[in-house]
C-alpha cells in the first residue's frame, strides 16, 4: 500500500481543447485508473471494520434464490408488429433522461462538491456517462433535509452547508432531521456543474413553516441557475408530517391542501421567483392515497402552478434496522426479502396505485414523476440494494414506470450509511479521487437511457412475454412509430446449467398480418456481472458491466466506464423471419433492431475528466504537485467563468467541446490516509 500519497487533480481547459491534468506525488507510483477494477486500492478498504460497518460499503453477500418452481419456459417466441399503430398499450412518448437522481440535500458536499470551485470529478464523470446517452441528467437536490433548510449569508470556516443537530426536528426514533444551513455557494456549485455537464436541477422549497415562508432557494435558484432549474418541489412527503411530529396528529389531506395554497400564494407574490408555475407536488410517500388528495379539489385549485405531479415511493423499508426503537417491529432479514426484487411483479405492484394519477397528469398536460425512489427506504437492504439483482430490478422497474406513463424517476442518493446509492464517494475522512463505489442501479440508468434513446418519440410497452411470466419480462420500444428496440430481463440465477433463456423474435409476418420485417441482423448489449471462474450470481456486488464496460469494483471507480465495449451482432434468419436471442441467467439484454437504432443511441465516446493518461481521450499532462498546490493556493477565486452551456446543442462531448475560454483548475485535493 502506498502511503501518504497526495494526489492532486487539476483540469485545465484552454481555448477549444480540454487538457485533463493529472498530478501524482513524486513518491507515489502512478495508479492504474480505478475503473480497471481488479487490484484497486479500495479492495482492502472493505476489510476495515468501521468502513464496512457503514451500509454503503457493507460486506453482506446473500444466497441467490433457487430457480423458480415451476420453471418458466426457457425458450419462447415474441412476435411483434413493426408499426406502432398496430401495437396496443404503448406509453406516451418518453425521454432518454427518464432516470435521474435525487440527492439528499445534506450530502451535497460529499457527493457533488465542497463549493463552486471544488467539484467532485467522479460525480461529473458519472453524470457525463449518463448525459451522453440521455442528452441531459435530471437531478433533484432535496429530501427530508430540504424542509429544515435555511439560507444564511455565511458559515464558519467558509462552509457551504452545515447541519445543526441541536435543533433536531422529529422524534429520535424515526429519523431526526437536522436543521440545515446553506449559503448561496450551493447554487453556484450547481450552476458550475451545469456548465460542465448537462445537468438540470429540481430544488426544494421548505414547507416546515407556512407562517414564515423561506423562499430564498427559489429566488436564488432562478437568479443563479436560470434555465438549468426545472422546478421547485414544495413539501416532501406531507403524508408523513404528522408521524414525524412536524404537524399535529390528525393532519390530513385537507390541512395539507390548504397549507399548500399558502405556499403557492407566497411563491406567486414573490416577484423574484420566475418559475412560480413550475412547482413539484404533492410528493406523497404512499400513506395517503393520491385520490383522497385530489378529492379535496387540490388539482383544480393548484394545477396551473404545478409542473410536475410527483410521488415518492420505495417498495419496502428497512426502518427497524435504522431505528430499533421506532416501533417498526423486528428487523427484516435481507435474505428473506431478496426474492421480492427478482420479479417483474415488483415494478408492477409499485406502479399500480399510480396508474389513475398518471392518466390525470396526462389530461392536465403535466409531467408525472417518481421523485424519490430506490429499493428500500431507511437505508435499503445490505446485500440486496447493492447486488446485481438491484440492477435487474431497476431496469425492469424503470421500464415499467415508462410503460405506465410516468415521465421520469429519480433514484435516491442518501449518503454513507445507505446501501442503495447509485454512487457513493469514499468514506468521508478518506477523500480518494478514484475510490468511489458505483452501485448496480447506476447501470440500469444507462440501460434505460439507451432503451428509450434521444428522439423523444419512444413509446414503451410491456410485452407480457412468455405467458406473462414474472422471471422473464420483456418490453418493446417503438420510436418514430416503428419498432426500434426490445429489452429482455432474466431474473433467474443459473443453477446446474439451467436458467438462461432463448427468445425467438419475429417482426411482422403473417401472424400479425404484415410483411416479414425481421432485420438481417440485430445488435445486442447486455447488463451482466463479471465473475472469474465461477458463474455470475444475482447476489454479486462487484464488476457489473454494461456492454462489457464497467465503472469498476467497490472503492475503485472514478466515474468513467472502462473496458472494451462489446456489442454482439446476431444474424437473423430471413427464411423464418426470426432472430434468436439468448439472455443469460442472470442478465438483461437490449436488442437494437436496426444498426440505425443502435448507432443513434450508442453514445459517442464519453469525453470525461480523467485521472490517468492511459485511457484518457483528451490530452493529459502531468504536473508537479507542488506547482499545483501553489496554483491551487491562488485559486480561491478560480474562475469557472461560465458562458458555456454543458452539452446543449446536442454535443455529446461535454469535456472537449466546451468552447469558452475556461482556464480552470480543478477540482479535488485528495489524500490517502493509510
Ligand atoms: C422550520 O425550520 C426552520 C429552519 O430550520 C426553523 O428555524 C423553524 O423553527 C422551523 N419551523 C417550524 C414551525 O418547525
Ligand atoms: C448505520 O445504519 C445502521 C442500521 O442499518 C445503524 O445501526 C448504524 O448505527 C448506522 N451507522 C451510522 C454511523 O450512522
Ligand atoms: C399510457 O398512456 C397511453 C396514452 O394515453 C394509454 O393509451 C395507455 O393505456 C397508458 N398506459 C397505461 C399503463 O395506463
Ligand atoms: C475516520 O473516521 C472513522 C470513524 O469515525 C475513524 O474510526 C477513523 O479512525 C478515521 N480515520 C482517519 C484516518 O482519520
Ligand atoms: C427532447 O426533449 C428535450 C426536453 O424537452 C429537448 O431539449 C430536446 O431538444 C428534444 N429532442 C428532440 C430530438 O426533439
Ligand atoms: C438457446 O439456443 C442455443 C442455440 O440454438 C442452444 O445451444 C441453447 O441450448 C438454447 N438454450 C436454451 C435455454 O434453450
Ligand atoms: C471485455 O472487457 C475486458 C476488460 O476490459 C476485456 O479484457 C475483454 O477482452 C472484453 N471482452 C471482449 C469480448 O472484448
Ligand atoms: C472550496 O473547498 C476547498 C476544499 O474544502 C477549499 O480548499 C477551498 O478553499 C474552498 N474554496 C472556496 C472559494 O471556498
Ligand atoms: C462558478 O463558481 C464561481 C464561484 O462561486 C462563480 O464565480 C462562477 O460564476 C461560477 N460559474 C458559473 C458558470 O456559475
* Residue 74 in contact with ligand 6 by CB distance below 6 A: yes
Interatomic CA distance for residues 99 and 451, integer angstroms: 11
Report the nearest atom of ligand 4 relative to the CA of 673.
Answer: 13
- 259 alpha carbon to ligand 7 midpoint, in Å? 57
- Using the 3D structure, point to which of 425, 452, 479 is the last residue of a domain: 452
Whether residues 520 and 537 share a domain: the answer is: yes
**CA count, 13 A, side-chain hemisphere, 635:** 24
Pocket test for ligand 5, best of 408, 454, 456, 458 (most atoms within 8 A of CB): 456
- Helix-helix angle 121-134:185-196, to 10 degrees: 50
- 565 alpha carbon to ligand 7 midpoint, in Å? 7
* Predicted confidence (pLDDT) at residue 265 exceeds the cutoff of 70: yes
Pocket test for ligand 7, best of 548, 560, 562, 569 (most atoms within 8 A of CB): 548
Instruction: Find all residues with CB under 8 Å of 498, minimum gap 6, and list them.
Output: 67, 71, 74, 585
CA-wise closest residue to 491 among 45, 74, 40: 74
Cell numbers given for 44: 482492502
Residue 5's pLDDT band, with cuts at 50, 70 and 90, is very low
Cell numbers given for 82: 413493426
Least reliable range by pLDDT among 252-266, 377-391, 446-460, 634-648? 634-648
What does the pLDDT read at residue 320? 96
* Predicted confidence (pLDDT) at residue 4 exceeds the cutoff of 60: no
For the four alpha carbons of 410, 416, 420 and 423, in that order, the dihedral sign comes to: positive
Whether residues 339 and 477 share a domain: the answer is: no
Least reliable range by pLDDT among 56-60, 75-79, 601-605? 601-605
Report the nearest atom of ligand 3 relative to the CA of 403.
Answer: 13
- 602 alpha carbon to ligand 5 midpoint, in Å? 17
Pairing mode of beta strands 17-23, 6-14: antiparallel
- 385 alpha carbon to ligand 2 midpoint, in Å? 16
Whether residues 444 and 533 share a domain: the answer is: no
- 283 alpha carbon to ligand 2 midpoint, in Å? 26
Pairwise pLDDT comparison (16 vs 388), residue with the higher score: 388
- Using the 3D structure, point to which of 394, 422, 452 is the last residue of a domain: 452
**Does the residue 57 lie in any domain?**
no
Whether residues 231 and 374 share a domain: the answer is: yes
What are the pLDDT digits (tens) for 362-374? 999 999 999 999 9
Report the nearest atom of ligand 6 relative to the CA of 501.
Answer: 13
What does the pLDDT read at residue 169? 46
Whether residues 127 and 226 share a domain: the answer is: yes
The kind and range of the H/E element at 263 are helix 253-269
* Predicted confidence (pLDDT) at residue 323 exceeds the cutoff of 60: yes
Q: How far is CA 109 from CA 11, 98, 180, 647, in A?
A: 20, 25, 12, 24
Residue 387's pLDDT band, with cuts at 50, 70 and 90, is very high
* Residue 116 in contact with ligand 9 by CB distance below 6 A: yes
What are the pLDDT digits (tens) for 271-305? 999 999 999 999 999 999 999 999 999 999 999 99
Whether residues 228 and 108 share a domain: the answer is: yes
Whether residues 484 and 442 share a domain: the answer is: no
Strand ranges for 117-160 from DSSP E: 118-119, 137-142, 149-151
Residue nearest to atom 4 of ligand 3 (CA): 92
- 87 alpha carbon to ligand 6 midpoint, in Å? 29
Residue 9's pLDDT band, with cuts at 50, 70 and 90, is very low
Pairwise pLDDT comparison (148 vs 595), residue with the higher score: 148
**Does the residue 17 lie in any domain?**
no
**Does the residue 624 lie in any domain?**
no
Whether residues 179 and 303 share a domain: the answer is: yes
Whether residues 415 and 481 share a domain: the answer is: no
* Predicted confidence (pLDDT) at residue 607 exceeds the cutoff of 90: no
Pairwise pLDDT comparison (628 vs 566), residue with the higher score: 566
- 502 alpha carbon to ligand 6 midpoint, in Å? 6
**Does the residue 22 lie in any domain?**
no
Report the nearest atom of ligand 4 relative to the CA of 429.
Answer: 1
- 332 alpha carbon to ligand 7 midpoint, in Å? 39
Pairing mode of beta strands 568-571, 521-529: antiparallel
- 75 alpha carbon to ligand 6 midpoint, in Å? 8
- 429 alpha carbon to ligand 4 midpoint, in Å? 6
Whether residues 403 and 530 share a domain: the answer is: no
Residue nearest to atom 8 of ligand 8 (CA): 636
What is the number of structural domains in the chain?
2
Whether residues 424 and 468 share a domain: the answer is: no
Pocket test for ligand 4, best of 47, 50, 426 (most atoms within 8 A of CB): 50
- 125 alpha carbon to ligand 2 midpoint, in Å? 29
Interatomic CA distance for residues 626 and 607, integer angstroms: 27
* Predicted confidence (pLDDT) at residue 24 exceeds the cutoff of 90: no
**Does the residue 622 lie in any domain?**
no
Interatomic CA distance for residues 565 and 539, integer angstroms: 24
Question: Does the bond joining 124 to the residue before it have cis omega, within 30 degrees of 0?
Answer: no
What does the pLDDT read at residue 639? 21
- 212 alpha carbon to ligand 1 midpoint, in Å? 9
CA-wise closest residue to 460 among 443, 475, 438: 475
Residue 30's pLDDT band, with cuts at 50, 70 and 90, is very low
* Predicted confidence (pLDDT) at residue 188 exceeds the cutoff of 50: yes
Mean of the per-residue pLDDT values of the chain: 83
Instruction: Find all residues with CB under 8 Å of 613, minimum gap 6, and list them.
Output: 22, 620, 622
**CA count, 13 A, side-chain hemisphere, 590:** 31
* Residue 600 in contact with ligand 5 by CB distance below 6 A: no
Least reliable range by pLDDT among 205-209, 406-410, 436-440, 665-669? 665-669
Residue 535's pLDDT band, with cuts at 50, 70 and 90, is confident
What does the pLDDT read at residue 261? 98
Task: Please list every protein residue whose CB sits less than 6 Å from any atom of ligand 7.
Answer: 548, 563-564, 566
- 194 alpha carbon to ligand 9 midpoint, in Å? 11
* Residue 541 in contact with ligand 5 by CB distance below 6 A: no
* Residue 357 in contact with ligand 3 by CB distance below 6 A: no
- 233 alpha carbon to ligand 6 midpoint, in Å? 50
What does the pLDDT read at residue 166? 60
**CA count, 13 A, side-chain hemisphere, 248:** 2
| Ligand nearest the Cα atom of residue 57 | 2
Residue nearest to atom 6 of ligand 4 (CA): 50
Report the nearest atom of ligand 4 relative to the CA of 430.
Answer: 13
**Does the residue 513 lie in any domain?**
yes
**Does the residue 34 lie in any domain?**
no
Radius of gyration (Cα) for the chain, nearest Å? 24
Interatomic CA distance for residues 15 and 644, integer angstroms: 12
Interatomic CA distance for residues 271 and 215, integer angstroms: 11
Cell numbers given for 394: 431497476
Range(s) of the domain holding residue 209: 99-452
- Using the 3D structure, point to which of 573, 601, 629 is the last residue of a domain: 601
Q: What's the CATH number where 556 sits?
A: 2.60.40.1180
Interatomic CA distance for residues 505 and 524, integer angstroms: 13
Residue nearest to atom 8 of ligand 2 (CA): 322
**Does the residue 168 lie in any domain?**
yes
CA-wise closest residue to 68 among 469, 534, 583: 469
Model confidence, pTM: 0.87
Q: What is the DSSP letter of 317?
A: B
Q: What's the CATH number where 421 sits?
A: 3.20.20.80
* Predicted confidence (pLDDT) at residue 443 exceeds the cutoff of 90: yes
Report the nearest atom of ligand 7 relative to the CA of 562.
Answer: 5
- 208 alpha carbon to ligand 1 midpoint, in Å? 6
Q: How far is CA 386 from CA 5, 47, 329, 492, 562, in A?
A: 29, 17, 24, 17, 20
* Predicted confidence (pLDDT) at residue 342 exceeds the cutoff of 70: yes
Residue 47's pLDDT band, with cuts at 50, 70 and 90, is confident
| Ligand nearest the Cα atom of residue 403 | 3
Q: How far is CA 605 from CA 202, 454, 564, in A?
A: 28, 16, 12
CB 395 within 8 A of CB 487: yes
What does the pLDDT read at residue 298? 98
Pocket test for ligand 1, best of 170, 179, 241, 242 (most atoms within 8 A of CB): 179
Strand ranges for 338-427 from DSSP E: 367-373, 408-413, 423-424
Whether residues 448 and 463 share a domain: the answer is: no
Pairing mode of beta strands 521-529, 587-592: antiparallel
CA-wise closest residue to 263 among 288, 242, 283, 287: 283
Residue 550's pLDDT band, with cuts at 50, 70 and 90, is very high
| Ligand nearest the Cα atom of residue 120 | 8
* Residue 362 in contact with ligand 3 by CB distance below 6 A: yes
- 509 alpha carbon to ligand 6 midpoint, in Å? 23
* Residue 94 in contact with ligand 3 by CB distance below 6 A: no
Report the nearest atom of ligand 6 relative to the CA of 75.
Answer: 14
Report the nearest atom of ligand 8 relative to the CA of 115.
Answer: 1
Residue 601's pLDDT band, with cuts at 50, 70 and 90, is low
Least reliable range by pLDDT among 48-52, 151-155, 171-175, 524-528? 171-175
What does the pLDDT read at residue 11? 27
Pocket test for ligand 6, best of 76, 496, 502 (most atoms within 8 A of CB): 502
Pairing mode of beta strands 118-119, 177-182: unpaired
Amino acid at each position: 500500500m502506498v502511503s501518504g500519497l497526495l494526489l492532486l487533480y487539476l483540469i485545465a481547459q484552454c481555448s477549444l481543447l480540454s487538457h485533463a491534468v493529472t498530478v501524482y506525488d513524486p513518491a507515489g507510483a502512478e495508479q492504474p485508473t480505478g475503473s480497471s477494477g481488479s487490484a484497486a486500492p479500495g479492495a482492502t478498504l472493505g476489510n476495515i471494520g468501521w468502513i464496512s460497518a457503514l451500509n454503503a460499503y457493507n460486506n453482506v453477500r446473500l444466497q441467490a434464490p433457487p430457480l423458480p418452481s415451476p420453471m418458466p419456459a426457457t425458450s419462447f417466441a415474441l412476435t411483434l408488429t413493426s408499426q406502432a399503430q398496430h401495437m396496443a398499450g404503448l406509453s406516451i412518448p418518453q425521454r432518454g433522461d427518464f432516470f435521474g437522481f435525487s440527492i439528499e440535500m445534506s450530502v451535497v458536499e460529499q457527493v457533488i462538491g465542497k463549493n463552486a470551485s471544488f467539484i467532485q470529478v467522479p460525480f461529473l464523470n458519472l453524470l457525463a456517462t449518463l448525459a451522453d446517452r440521455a442528452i441531459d441528467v435530471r437531478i433533484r437536490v432535496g429530501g427530508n433535509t430540504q424542509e429544515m433548510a435555511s439560507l444564511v449569508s455565511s458559515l464558519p470556516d467558509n462552509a457551504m452547508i452545515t447541519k445543526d443537530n441541536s435543533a433536531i426536528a422529529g422524534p429520535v426514533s424515526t429519523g431526526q432531521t437536522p436543521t440545515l444551513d446553506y449559503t448561496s455557494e450551493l447554487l453556484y456549485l450547481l450552476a458550475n456543474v451545469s456548465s460542465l455537464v448537462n445537468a438540470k436541477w429540481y430544488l426544494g422549497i421548505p414547507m416546515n413553516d407556512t407562517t414564515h415562508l423561506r423562499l430564498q432557494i427559489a429566488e436564488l435558484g432562478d437568479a443563479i441557475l436560470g434555465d438549468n432549474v426545472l422546478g421547485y418541489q414544495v413539501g416532501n412527503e406531507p403524508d408523513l408530517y404528522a408521524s414525524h411530529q412536524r404537524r399535529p396528529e390528525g393532519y390530513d389531506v385537507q390541512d395539507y391542501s390548504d397549507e399548500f395554497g399558502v405556499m403557492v400564494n407566497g411563491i406567486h407574490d414573490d416577484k423574484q421567483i420566475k418559475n412560480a408555475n413550475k412547482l413539484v407536488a404533492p410528493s406523497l410517500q404512499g400513506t395517503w392515497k393520491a385520490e383522497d388528495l385530489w378529492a379535496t379539489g387540490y388539482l383544480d385549485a393548484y394545477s396551473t402552478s404545478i409542473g410536475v405531479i410527483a410521488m415518492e415511493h420505495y417498495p419496502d423499508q428497512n426502518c427497524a434496522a435504522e431505528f430499533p426503537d421506532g416501533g417498526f417491529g423486528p428487523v427484516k432479514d435481507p435474505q428473506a426479502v431478496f426474492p421480492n426484487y427478482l420479479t417483474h411483479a415488483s415494478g408492477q405492484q409499485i406502479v399500480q396505485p399510480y396508474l389513475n394519477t398518471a392518466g390525470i397528469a396526462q389530461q392536465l398536460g403535466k409531467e408525472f414523476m417518481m421523485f424519490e425512489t430506490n429499493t428500500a427506504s431507511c437505508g435499503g437492504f445490505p446485500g440486496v440494494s447493492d447486488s446485481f439483482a438491484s440492477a435487474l430490478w431497476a431496469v425492469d422497474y424503470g421500464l415499467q414506470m415508462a410503460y405506465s406513463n410516468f415521465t421520469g424517476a429519480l433514484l435516491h442518493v442518501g449518503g454513507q450509511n445507505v446501501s442503495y446509492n447509485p454512487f457513493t464517494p469514499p468514506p468521508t475522512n478518506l477523500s480518494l479521487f478514484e475510490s468511489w463505489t458505483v452501485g448496480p442501479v447506476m447501470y440500469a440508468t444507462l440501460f434505460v437511457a439507451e432503451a428509450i434513446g434521444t428522439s423523444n418519440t419512444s413509446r414503451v410497452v410491456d410485452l407480457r412475454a412468455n405467458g406473462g411470466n414474472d422471471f422473464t419480462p420483456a418490453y418493446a420500444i417503438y420510436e418514430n412509430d416503428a419498432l426500434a428496440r426490445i429489452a429482455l430481463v432474466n431474473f433467474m440465477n443459473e443453477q446446474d446449467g439451467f436458467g438462461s433463456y432463448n427468445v425467438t423474435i419475429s417482426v411482422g409476418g403473417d401472424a400479425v398480418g404484415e410483411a416479414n420485417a425481421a432485420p438481417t441482423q440485430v445488435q445486442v448489449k447486455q447488463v451482466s456481472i463479471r465473475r472469474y471462474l465461477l458463474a455470475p450470481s444475482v447476489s454479486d456486488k462487484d464488476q457489473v458491466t454494461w456492454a462489457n464496460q464497467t465503472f469498476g469494483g467497490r472503492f475503485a471507480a472514478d466515474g468513467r466506464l472502462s473496458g472494451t465495449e462489446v456489442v454482439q451482432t446476431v444474424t437473423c434468419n430471413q427464411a423464418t423471419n426470426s432472430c434468436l436471442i439468448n439472455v443469460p441467467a442472470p442478465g438483461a439484454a437490449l436488442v437494437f433492431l436496426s444498426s440505425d437504432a443502435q448507432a443513434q443511441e450508442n453514445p459517442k465516446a464519453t469525453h470525461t475528466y480523467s485521472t490517468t493518461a492511459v485511457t484518457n481521450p483528451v490530452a493529459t499532462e502531468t504536473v508537479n504537485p507542488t506547482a499545483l498546490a501553489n496554483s491551487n493556493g491562488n485559486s480561491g477565486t478560480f474562475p469557472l467563468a461560465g458562458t458555456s452551456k454543458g452539452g446543449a446543442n446536442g454535443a455529446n462531448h461535454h469535456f472537449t467541446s466546451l468552447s469558452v475560454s475556461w482556464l480552470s483548475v480543478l477540482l479535488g485535493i485528495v489524500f490517502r490516509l493509510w
